[in-house]
A and B are shown apart, each in its own frame.
Chain A
Amino acid sequence: MSTAVYIHIPYCQSKCNYCDFLSFAVSSCEIAPHIYLQALEKELALRGEELKKAGIKVATLYIGGGTPTILPHELVSQILASCHRHLPLDKEVEWTVEANPSTISLELVKLLVQAGVNRISLGVQDLCDERLALLGRTHTAAQAKEAILMCRNYFPVLSLDLMTGLPKQTTAQLLETLAVVCSWEPQHLSLYGLQVEDGTKLAAQLAAGLIQLPDEDEVGEMFMRSRKYLQSRGYEHYEIANFALKGFQCRHNLTYWQNRPYLGLGLGAHSYWQNERLANTSCLYSYVQCLAAGQLPVTERLVLSRQREIEDTIMLGLRLRAGIKFADFQKRFGLDLRRLYAQQLQCLSALGVIQCDEESISLTESGLPVANLVFAEFIA
């Protein structure tokens, strides 16, 4: 038995304009990182104990944020040591750390690799300095290149995050960026469309007319062209936003898409554990207090009905290009997906947005741009 563990480090150098993740600028945060890490260590201990008792190994470990690498190196080491101390890591563990290119140094890279981190995910986003500044990113294209070239020599897997649909971005520019990025030979690429979330600086800038975003057609075009280009460069499009060379799919994220259990540790982290969806508190004070009292900081708990579990499995599984295997579904729920959703499958197939064969159901190419509408059809 094995599972996936996510650890959230909610600190950043500064908040990016589009970001609505749970993160704080490290300089302005009232609870210092070392206090947070003490609490996190307690949570790791509690959950690690539970895993060990149940004989469950950690197959994938993902340290994300925020920017985990913004912390001083001794604190980064402390996190890595805590993981080793408390978590029953599998021999073949896929261990990812997220990093901002501006935080990468040889010292840090060595520290991570020595601790057993074998996958680094760099938030490159774009290679246009003007646009990076506009987004509130703290790095430049040159820094990104430097970090990438360093990382790829040390980490078995290099993953890069890129964004589409950015202000003033054109399809041509994006393709050019991808060509440069591909020349650095990352094993894994995530391509995220910029989303305007309420309450972000970006939303305010847009509302004030300070920036304009490319229209829906252009963004759609960017995605489809990027996809085609990356495929031509040998990347498999294996999930709506993710591309990988053969054998380098992100096992950690696959856990989410396959709707299998995972534990999320740290501030505001989410877990899917023993058929419940759990959320940790998003309040730093409560988080620290809870763990000081020896309690898990879980504040939201949703027991999933069987129907909900089925719906989630479909909504998540259809994100994978491989789709959902009928046999897997049958094995998990004892039901025939084809019969359960006969009407939806027929209608959506007729519209050409999904395809069914003997073994599985998946989105078609024309289903990709309308994925949400397709998923919504399966939600009661």
Chain B
Amino acid sequence: MQQRNIRNFSIIAHIDHGKSTLADRLLEKTGALTKREMTAQVLDQMDLERERGITIKLQAVRLLYRASDGEEYILNLIDTPGHVDFAYEVSRSLAACEGALLVIDAAQGIEAQTLANVYLALENNLEIIPVINKIDLPGADVEKVKQELEEIIGLPGDEAILVSAKEGIGIEEVLEAVVQRIPAPVGNTEEALRALIFDSHYDPYRGAIAYIRVMEGKIHTHQKIKMMSHGGIYEVTEVGVFQPKMTPTDSLKAGEVGYVVAGIKNVKDTRVGDTITGAERPALFPLPGYRRTNPMVYCGFYPVDSGDYTVLRDALEKLNLNDAALVFEPETSEALGFGFRCGFLGLLHMEIIQERLEREYNLSLITTAPNVVYQVTLHNGKVLQIDNPARLPKTTEIASIAEPYVVARIIVPSTYVGAVMELCQDKRGDFINMEYLDTSRVSLTYEMPLSDIVFDFFDLLKSRTRGYASLDYELLGYRTSQLVKVDILINGELVDALSFITHNERAYQRGRELVGKLRELIPRQMFEVPIQAAIGQKIIARETVKALRKNVLDKCYGGDITRKRKLLEKQKAGKKRMKQVGNVEIPQEAFMAVLRID
């Protein structure tokens, strides 16, 4: 098909504003799937995504649409992940498009992620079509949203399409707008090949499959291609399009969206944002915008049963095949034995991996509290990247420690401004700006340490604003802070997996709180167990888990010894789910306790 009959677009929205439902309706309307084939929200394919109602792994689909002008169009819908952890992935899929549907909940209005996505779309010069969704809801206020569109984003409010994806209202109008308002792709098919990788997945039989948008030139089977970021050369064995199942075609030309199979062993070699070019006639420059994604958050995964170490390693390797953003390397903890230190894009990414390991690989894991990467400058001038608090060098060797900072934008009804400001201050935020979006809503900008925002900030923000606040943030860079390491000693033994790094001023309080939390979490044992927090040699907090007072089977059960024994076996099994550190049995949750303190 000719370029002028192709439209490449994304749907961008704040979480829960109905992006996936709208995508489903578009698929249904264009007959890409029959109703029977549709489970709710087809594009969110992983179980976890469906359960959480969010898109993690982005997907693409090709829709065939006969427009009111009588012509047939190919509409390539590129779905984007709906979480701030995956901001880079979002930006790359937007780069593969010429336009975007900006979905706004008619009742909620513009939220922080709406804005963040709009900025990304504008950076990529996309034509934005505002879609006001959920107009059927009792709380819908279309006029207010139109006003917000004009005042906050600067888009004409009356150009917005009114939709209820759930009820199927306005879907035809959306498709027409995609055809009429979004420009057709340009790009010379005779030029040297340049194709943008916006996603990839791993197929056990065919290797890594790259999802691409061809910007210039064409790509066909048997062609030798080259990845411009690392120079790897491969021979294309198949190209095709998503209908939404992968369907082979002879070639993909400039403007088209599809996939490439080329015997690539690993998704690490099909990095999002990379440019594919021809090996025989390479382009001079890659497409702009590629960067390696670096993990923002690290934590340790340890099998509860140390015999599961190899199962865990194999599982991580398998997940890594499909998730280049996940990094991991073997690590040993004195308390927990052999495990892995794993790096993630954010906390959600971490939770997803953890859940998949436990569900899909049936592993029982101890997850240590997540932390950011610290930059430690030593007196001898050496700079270390520390992704595990236990590895922090001695205080005497350290000249300074720097931690990652972000700029956070929070949009909140004005009644909650005070509460949010207080929270941001608690989290060491530096106030940058406050702006009234309209009479009732405020946008607050703070610069904050990532370590404070990445853990429970979002939950706290939601609870202090009754769910009304929305948040978006992006990395600023590293800043020196007065940071110290707090160690935890249980029964006199340092438990390395519980050490954490925090700001000097908050060390005492956090130490006390953690020790208190641990006292609740660690079950009473045969003996009294002291729990202490220490900075260096100095003890800053202490609690005691008293010895058990009653753990006796009294009754005789008329000689039913088997029953007695079963109770003991149950007790023993309960013990096995805990980790023995020294003489003390510590339950899995204890290692995440640091997350549950403010």
B558→A8 contact, CB < 8 A: yes
**A220 touching B558 by the CB < 8 A rule?**
no
Cβ of B567: which chain A residues have Cβ within 8 Å of it?
372
Binary per-residue interface labels of chain B (517-551) against chain A in the complex, 1 for a CB within 8 Å, 0 otherwise: 00000001111000000000000000000111111
Q: Mark A348-368, 1 if CB is under 8 A from B, else 0.
A: 000111000000000000111
Cβ of B559 under 8 Å from chain A: yes
A256 engages B527 (CB within 8 Å): no
Chain A residues with a Cβ closer than 8 Å to the other chain, count: 51
Assess whether A368 is in contact with B552, with CB atoms less than 8 Å apart.
yes
In the complex, chain B residues whose CB is within 8 Å of the CB of A21:
557-558
> Do residues A272 and B564 form an inter-chain contact, with CB atoms below 8 A?
no
Residues from chain A with a CB closer than 8 A to the CB of B559 are 6, 256, 262, 264, 269-272
Q: Is A192 located at the chain interface by the 8 A CB criterion?
A: yes
- Is A216 touching B550 in the complex (CB atoms < 8 A)? yes
A369 to B525, CA, bound (A): 10
Q: Residue of A at shortest CB range from B574?
A: A376
Q: Is the CB of A376 within 8 A of B571?
A: yes
Given contacts A6-B559, A315-B568, contact A241 B549 (CB under 8 A): no
Q: How far is the CA of A254 from the CA of B89 in the complex (A)?
A: 72
Q: Are B568 and A369 closer than 8 Å at their CB atoms? A: no
Which residues of the other chain, A, contact B558 by a CB distance below 8 angstroms?
6, 8, 21, 64, 264, 268-270
Q: At the interface, yes or no: B554 with Cβ under 8 Å from chain A? A: yes
B555–A192 touching, CB < 8 Å? yes
**B571: chain A residues within 8 A (beta carbon):** 372-373, 376
A249 to B525, CA, bound (A): 31
Q: Which of A192, A264, A367, A376 contacts B572 (CB 8 A)?
A: A376
CB distance from B520 to the nearest CB of A (A): 14
Q: Complex Cα distance A6/B558, Å? A: 8
Closest B-chain residue to A163, C-beta based?
B554
Q: Which of B564-590 contact A (CB under 8 A)?
A: 564-565, 567-569, 571-572, 575, 583
Provide the A337-351 mask, 1 if CB < 8 A to any CB of B, else 0.
000000000010001
Complex interface bits, A271-308 against B, C-beta within 8 A gives 1, otherwise 0: 11000010100000000000000000000101000000
Q: Does A205 contact B (CB under 8 A)?
A: no
Given A271-B559, A279-B562, A312-B565, decide whether A373 and B525 contact each other with a Cβ distance below 8 A. Answer: yes
Interfacial chain B residues near A368, Cβ < 8 Å: 552
Rounded to whole angstroms, the CA-CA distance of A347 and B557 in the bound complex is 30
**Closest chain A CB from B478 CB (angstroms):** 48
Number of inter-chain CB pairs below 8 Å: 112
B546's nearest neighbour on chain A, judged by CB, is A217
Tell whether A173 is near chain B: CB-to-CB under 8 Å. no
B556 within 8 A of A: yes
Q: Which of A223, A302, A376, A379 has the most CB of B within 10 A?
A: A376
Judged by a CB distance under 8 angstroms, whether A371 is at the interface is yes
Beta-carbon contact of B550 and A223 below 8 Å: yes
Are B562 and A270 closer than 8 Å at their CB atoms? yes
> Does B505 count as interface, using CB distance less than 8 angstroms?
no
- A195 within 8 A of partner (CB): yes
- Whether the Cβ atoms of B561 and A316 lie closer than 8 Å is yes
- Given A253-B556, A376-B571, answer yes or no on A312-B561 (Cβ-Cβ < 8 Å): yes
Instruction: Name the B residues within 8 Å of A219 (CB-CB).
Output: 549-550
Complex Cα distance, B569 from A277, in Å, reads 17
A374 within 8 A of B: yes
A272 to B552, CA, bound (A): 23
Report how many residues on chain B are interfacial, defined by Cβ distance under 8 Å. 30
**Chain A hits for B548, CB < 8 A:** 216, 220, 369-370, 373
**A240 lies within 8 A of B526 (CB):** no
Is A375 engaged at the interface, CB distance under 8 Å to the other chain? yes
State which of A191, A221, A300, A375 has its C-beta within 8 Å of the C-beta of B568.
A375
| Cβ contacts under 8 Å, A311 to chain B | 565
Q: A195: which B residues are within 8 A, CB to CB?
A: 554-555
Say whether A88 faces chain B, with CB atoms less than 8 Å apart. Answer: no
Selected from A193, A353, A376, the residue in CB contact (under 8 A) with B554 is: A193
Chain A CB within 8 A of B1 CB: no
Is B560 in contact with chain A by the CB < 8 A criterion?
yes
A29 to B459, CA, bound (A): 56
Q: Does B284 contact A (CB under 8 A)?
A: no
Is the Cβ of B568 less than 8 Å from the Cβ of A240?
A: no
Contact check, A369 vs B550: say whether CB atoms are below 8 A apart: yes
Which residues of A in the span 227-278 have a Cβ within 8 Å of any Cβ on B? 240-241, 253, 256, 259, 262, 264, 268-272, 277
Our pick among A312, A347, A369, A374 for the contact of B547 (Cβ within 8 Å) is A369
Closest to A263 in B: B559
A370 near B561 with CB under 8 A, answer no
Q: In the complex the two chains form, is B561's CB within 8 Å of A270's CB?
A: yes
Contact in complex: B551, A369 (CB < 8 Å): yes
Q: How far, in whole Å, are A220 and B524 apart by their CA atoms in the complex?
A: 13
Q: B527 to chain A: which residues have CB within 8 Å?
A: 351-353
A375 CA to B561 CA, complexed, in Å: 13
With a cutoff of 8 Å between Cβ atoms, the chain B residues found around residue A253 in the complex are: 556
Contacts of A191 in B (CB 8 A): 554
Q: CB-nearest residue of chain A relative to B553?
A: A372
B312: min CB distance to chain A, Å: 26
A373 to B550, CA, bound (A): 10
Tell me the bound Cα distance from A269 to B563 in angstroms: 12
- Contact between A221 and B562 (Cβ–Cβ < 8 Å)? no
One of B524, B554, B561, B565 near A192 (C-beta < 8 A): B554
Please name the residue on chain B nearest to A22 by beta carbon: B558
Interface residues of B in 257-308 (CB under 8 A from A): none
The smallest C-beta distance from B186 to any residue of chain A, in angstroms, reads 69
Smallest Cβ distance from A99 to chain B, in angstroms? 16
With A217-B549, A369-B547, A379-B569 as known contacts, state yes or no: A374 contacts B526, CB within 8 Å.
yes
Contact A241 B554 (CB under 8 A): yes
For window 7-61 of chain A, which residues contact chain B by CB distance below 8 Å? 8, 21
Known: A312-B561, A351-B526. A221 touches B549 (CB 8 A): yes
- Which chain A residues border B554 with CB–CB below 8 Å? 191-193, 195, 240-241
CA distance A269 to B552 in the complex (A): 23
**With A193-B550, A217-B546 in contact, do A373 and B526 touch (Cβ < 8 Å)?**
yes
Q: Residues 190-232 of chain A: 1 if any B CB is under 8 Å from the residue's CB, otherwise 0?
A: 0111010000000000000000000011011101000000000
Q: Is the CB of B549 within 8 A of A277?
A: no
Contacts of B549 in A (CB 8 A): 216-217, 219-221, 369
B559, closest chain A residue (CB): A270
Q: A277-B561, A315-B565, A351-B526 are in contact. Are A371 and B552 (CB under 8 A)?
A: yes
Determine the chain A residues whose CB is within 8 A of the CB of B557 once the complex forms: 21, 270
Which residues of B from 353 to 396 have beta carbons under 8 Å from A? none
Query: Which residues on the A side are within 8 Å of B526 (C-beta)?
Result: 351, 353, 367, 370, 373-374
Residue pair A379, B561 in contact (C-beta under 8 Å): no
Instruction: List, in ascending order, chain A residues with CB within 8 A of B561's CB.
Output: 256, 259, 270, 272, 277, 312, 316
> Cβ of B575: which chain A residues have Cβ within 8 Å of it?
376
A257 to chain B, nearest CB (A): 9
Which chain B residues border A268 with CB–CB below 8 Å? 558
B550 neighbours in A (Cβ, 8 Å)? 165, 193, 216, 219-220, 223, 369
Closest to A253 in B: B556
Complex Cα distance A277/B560, Å? 9
Residues of A within 8 A of B (CB): 6, 8, 21, 64, 165, 191-193, 195, 216-217, 219-221, 223, 240-241, 253, 256, 259, 262, 264, 268-272, 277, 279, 300, 302, 311-312, 315-316, 347, 351-353, 366-376, 379
4 shortest interchain CB distances as A-B pairs: A220-B549, A241-B554, A370-B526, A192-B554
Kindly list 19 other residue pairs between chains A and B, CB separation below 8 angstroms, not including A369-B551, A376-B568: A6-B559, A8-B558, A64-B558, A192-B554, A220-B550, A223-B552, A253-B556, A256-B556, A270-B558, A277-B561, A315-B565, A353-B526, A370-B525, A370-B547, A370-B548, A371-B553, A373-B525, A373-B551, A374-B526
Name 19 A/B residue pairs within 8 A (Cβ), A-sorted. Answer: A192-B554, A193-B550, A219-B549, A223-B550, A240-B554, A241-B555, A264-B559, A270-B561, A271-B559, A272-B559, A272-B561, A351-B526, A367-B526, A369-B548, A369-B550, A370-B525, A371-B553, A372-B552, A376-B568
